[in-house]
Amino acid sequence: MPVATRIEEVRTEVTALAESARTVEDLMHGMVKLLHDRMLKYNWVGFYMLEPEAQPPVLVLGAFEGAMTPHTRIPLNQGICGAAASSGQTVVVDDVAKDPRYLACSLETRSEIVVPVFAHGAVVGELDIDSHFPAAFTPEHQDFVQHCAMLVGKKLEIAPA
């Protein structure tokens, strides 16, 4: 199946999941499972959410699918995860071995995307995906993962976790 077709199929499924999920927690758990199961190169999929009121701010591992990671709490000045949350920008890394910010989760990881989740205009967390394949996150994937993160942000706005 062409990758564009698969992305369109899973985009439809994930959008339906956002409508049917009862809570944001249900949506995040269902979404990481769906993305991990259906997207062939998404080998680790997880959410990191900003801990409310924490000073200094810290990202805490939430729903995920894939191998357990040593990075369960990430300060905003560390990692690709910290870079995405502190800048409010999507970060795509085609070759993690060449990025000095990278915090290793699995020795097999070759590329990574981290997309911030916004609610009421502020970053509240992020969707992090690792791939065993180099440069897995082309612009089509970036657009799709941003759509997924947006669905979680919108759900948070109407139904807090």
Q: Please report, as ranges, the residues that interact with ligand SME according to CB under 6 A.
A: 44, 69, 71, 74, 79-81, 102-103, 105, 112, 128, 130
Burial class (CB in 10 A: 0-12, 13-18, 19+), 114: buried
Q: What is the smallest separation between the CB atom of 98 and ligand SME, expressed in angstroms?
A: 13
Are 50 and 75 in contact by the 8 Å Cβ rule? The answer is no
CB closest to ligand SME, residue no: 79
| Omega cis (within 30) before 70 | no
Q: What is the smallest separation between the CB atom of 23 and ligand SME, expressed in angstroms?
A: 24
Q: Please identify, using beta-carbon distances, which residue of 15 and 72 lies nearer to ligand SME.
A: 72
- Cα 46–chain centre separation: 5
**CA distance linking residue 112 with residue 72, whole number of Å:** 17
Q: Please identify, using beta-carbon distances, which residue of 18 and 114 lies nearer to ligand SME.
A: 114
- Cα 73–chain centre separation: 15
Q: What is the smallest separation between the CB atom of 141 and ligand SME, expressed in angstroms?
A: 16
Are 112 and 93 in contact by the 8 Å Cβ rule? The answer is yes
Q: Please identify, using beta-carbon distances, which residue of 18 and 115 lies nearer to ligand SME.
A: 115
Q: What is the smallest separation between the CB atom of 147 and ligand SME, expressed in angstroms?
A: 21
Q: What is the smallest separation between the CB atom of 112 and ligand SME, expressed in angstroms?
A: 6
Q: Please identify, using beta-carbon distances, which residue of 27 and 126 lies nearer to ligand SME.
A: 126
**CA distance linking residue 81 with residue 114, whole number of Å:** 6
Q: Please identify, using beta-carbon distances, which residue of 105 and 127 lies nearer to ligand SME.
A: 105
Are 136 and 111 in contact by the 8 Å Cβ rule? The answer is yes
